[in-house]
Structures are given as C-alpha cells and as structure tokens.
Amino acid sequence: MTNKLEFQAVPQDDRESHEHADPIMALLARLHDDPAIADMVALRQSRPDLRDAAVKAVAHRNAYGWSVSQDGIGALERIALLTIAGAHAMIVAIFPVGNLDDVDAKVAMQPNREWLANWQGSGDYVRGRIAQAAFSPGQLAVPPQPNVSERESALYPWPVTGFDLDAEIESLPTREIYTPEQLPMLAAFAAEGLDMKAALEKARDYFAAADRLFAEALRPSPAMHRTRLAAEGALIAAYLSCAQIAVWPARRGTGDRDAKLAVQELVNGRATTDDPLHLQAAIRHGFTFTGTVSRGSPQLFVEVKLSQWVGNV
C-alpha cells in the first residue's frame, strides 16, 4: 500500500487537476457521458485500495485539524482538505468488500465505542450510528483468523494482527501533507467546486440504469451474470455521484443548496428499494464532512440544514 498523499505532478488542464485531487471524479471519469454495459461492469470489478483510501481519508482530516491553527491557510484550503477526506471515506464506504483487506479498511473507519459514547453523551447518537452503518462490511464478511492458541484466555485482551489504521497514520512523517507551494492548488480546487447539477443528473441516470439492469438480470439468459455486474456498477456510480454532492460544500450564489436537498430526497426515496443499507448510510455520513468549515465561511458557502434527514433514518 502506498501513501502518496500529495499532488504528484502539475496536471495539464483544470479538468485533469480536478480529477487528480478528487478520487471519486477519477473513478467516474471512466464512464464518460454515455457509458456502455462494459463500462459499468468494469467499474463494478475495479478494486480500489480501500486501506489506502482509509489512510488518506484520516490523514486529510487530520491535516484539516492541523490547518485550523495555521494563519497562512485559508478557508478554501481547509474546504479542500475536508472534501478530499470525505471523498476517500466515501470510496471506503460505498465499494463492496472483495477481500479481507477491504473488510479491515471498513472496520477501521467505523467509530469505536469511545466515539459512540461521546456522541451519545452529546445527544448526537444518531450520527454515530449512521457512521457505523456506512462502514459496515456486511454480515458475511469474516475477519482474518487471529494467530492465537486455543489455550489463550478468552477474556484476556490479546492483540489481533491486521490493519492498524492508527499506526498507519502515526507512521506518516507529518500532518502537513501538502507543501506551501501546493496550497494554491488546493485553494483553486476548492474554488472551482463541483457542478452539483450535473452530478445530480448523472446520479438519477445511474439509478435508472441500475433499476433497469437489475430487472433485466432476473430474466434467464447467458448474460445474466454480466448484466447483474453492470447493474451493481451502475448502482455504485449512482451513490458515488451522490457522495460527491454530499461531501462538497454548497457555494453561495449557486444552485448547490438545491442540489443537496434534491440528493436528500433522492436517497430517501431509495429506502423503498433493495439498495444495501450501507450505501444509504454512506451518503448521510458524507454530509457531515464540510458542515463545520462551511458555517465558518458564510461569505463563501451557505449551510444546508437537512431537517428531515435524521427523521428518515
């Protein structure tokens, strides 16, 4: 696993720069404007490194925490850090488990008991439960067998080897994961923002495609399995598009706020389908990433209060 957190090279144009910083956009770029069945199958069968994404999510969020105390880092740079953190976290949450490394990544991103206790103490226990559901690896996912003898005490807290997200973060040389020379690129990334209207339309198209393909996959044919893969790929694409809107802040003077509210309605409507619950929880969790810094920059961003969101959980 590689932890290349910084921008590696100067991209050739603005679109390439955006894709370079936004991991969700990089994944969806392969679908183009009119994706074929093969494109959806390829997305479903792609294997993003979820452990690496988990490290990048936490590292960027920690970098945001560090940046708050730095006078030379402005609101746009902080928005960029949280948006990138959220995008990586959404990839961990949305992509299905394919191996035990993926299980480790999802479990590592779940809130631990101490976090849940703190959230319960503050009355915000629903947020903790949503985060826990968003990173659920599934009930059939089996963790690696621990290297422990059956003679060991069942009550003694013996260490279990595996992916240690905290240790991975501690191994990073610094919380300052971007150089001062790269801060303008972060600011430009945040200032450009996301075309939420276009992302919303794509999400709707992908959901419609997924529903059609799932229905088609029920018909006996030699292509049943491949059609099912395409349907799952379309569903992943739909939730990734919603995740983009969730983690990006709503810019003042644009239609971003309306797009965020439309995503709320869209995902709430999916509650009547067979969509996996962790996908719906992921979008709800995604909305928590940039809220704090958005409220701190009212001249740039408008807060989106999702009053009906929790009530629909």
Residues in the chain: 313
In a domain, 92, yes or no: yes
Q: Would you state the pLDDT for residue 75?
A: 82
pLDDT tens digits along 40-98:
999 999 989 999 999 999 999 888 888 877 777 888 888 899 999 999 999 999 999 98
In a domain, 1, yes or no: no
Secondary structure E strands in 85-198: none
Tokens of 68: 């708050």
Residue 3 scores a pLDDT above 70: no
- Report the chain's mean pLDDT, rounded to a whole number: 81
pLDDT tens digits along 126-140:
777 888 899 998 755
Q: Would you state the pLDDT for residue 7?
A: 37
| Residue 32 contacts residue 39 (beta carbons within 8 Å) | yes
Domain count, the chain: 1
Instruction: Return phi, psi of residue 111, to 5°.
Output: -65, 135
- Residues paired with 122 in a beta bridge: none
In a domain, 120, yes or no: yes
Domain span holding position 63: 16-141+184-312
Q: Would you state the pLDDT for residue 233?
A: 96
pLDDT tens digits along 156-178:
554 555 788 888 888 887 666 78
Residue 123 φ/ψ region, left for φ over 0, alpha for ψ in the -120 to 50 degree band, beta for the rest: left
Q: Would you state the pLDDT for residue 126?
A: 75
At CA 109, angle to CA 104 and CA 114, rounded to 5? 115
